[in-house]
């Protein structure tokens, strides 16, 4: 019964923010599971190493640079991905920035940047890819949320606002696109070891105190997302939509 449930051979994935961290790991994981992959980031050069690794897996790969907050660039990105790979079966809507600061210190420019990339960017990419999937009458959209969309944390006001919005946007998208056979879910990571969190790992004593409160007693590594992204991209999740799945070692429980 489970034969083929997690098989992604021949499917095409578009991954935004794929040059590093969680996006890079998810792109490589989907390629290992059988996908051909379109890689997005602002700069094409930042994607070359990931593209080379995917090609070594004997998968097709397309580099589709774009600023996800620019609608014209997003449209061109999606068109280029289709031209290169023929279709888009899976979208990993991952591009994002942190911009952390306290409310009274956060500049309007930083607030606008976080909203434009994390929220407007996710909307624009989902809109463009959603049109492709509606014509195909199938698709899997995976939005990247965060546990900060559920729980408050100092210095996260802009980032948390966007991730809370992503969670609700995922639910609305699932309702709208579900009748066409399109599944929309979100992943909400906790604290992961990425470039975005590096400065919060520099104070080892504070980091250890933080980790000691996580039930699994460690923070996440990018590869911890591998199984979940394949699950949500595959037939194994064909009756799941509109959900946000938390992956945080139990961090949000305490």
Catalytic residue numbers, as ranges:
159
Percent helix, strand, coil in the chain (nearest 5)?
50, 15, 35
Distance of alpha carbon 65 from alpha carbon 47, whole angstroms: 9
Tokens of residue 38, six digits: 């379109």
What three-state secondary structure class fits 141?
strand
Burial (0-12, 13-18, 19+ Cβ within 10 Å), 195: exposed
**Tokens for 59?**
């998968």
Rounded to an integer, what distance in angstroms lies between the CA atom of residue 59 and that of residue 64?
A: 16
């Amino acid at each position: 019964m489970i034969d083929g449930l997690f098989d992604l051979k021949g499917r095409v994935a578009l991954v935004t923010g794929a040059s590093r961290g969680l996006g890079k790991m998810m792109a490589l994981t989907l390629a290992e599971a059988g996908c051909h992959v379109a890689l997005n980031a602002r700069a094409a050069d930042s994607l070359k190493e990931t593209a080379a690794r995917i090609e070594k897996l004997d998968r097709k790969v397309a580099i589709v640079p774009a600023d996800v907050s620019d609608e014209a660039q997003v449209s061109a990105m999606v068109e280029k991905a289709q031209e290169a790979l023929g279709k888009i079966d899976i979208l990993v809507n991952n591009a994002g920035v942190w911009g952390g600061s306290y409310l009274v210190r956060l500049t309007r420019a930083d607030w606008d940047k976080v909203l434009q990339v994390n929220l407007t960017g996710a909307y624009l990419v989902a809109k463009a890819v959603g049109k492709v999937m509606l014509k195909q009458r199938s698709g899997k959209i995976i939005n990247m949320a965060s546990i900060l969309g559920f729980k408050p944390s100092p210095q996260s006001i802009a980032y948390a606002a966007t991730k809370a919005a992503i969670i609700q946007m995922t639910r609305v998208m699932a309702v709208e696109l579900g009748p066409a056979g399109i599944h929309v879910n979100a992943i909400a990571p906790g604290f992961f070891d990425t470039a975005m969190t590096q400065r919060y790992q520099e104070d080892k004593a504070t980091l250890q105190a933080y980790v000691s409160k996580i039930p699994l007693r460690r923070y996440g590594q990018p590869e911890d997302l591998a199984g979940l992204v394949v699950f949500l991209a595959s037939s194994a999740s064909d009756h799941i939509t509109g959900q946000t799945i938390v992956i945080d070692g139990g961090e949000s429980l305490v």
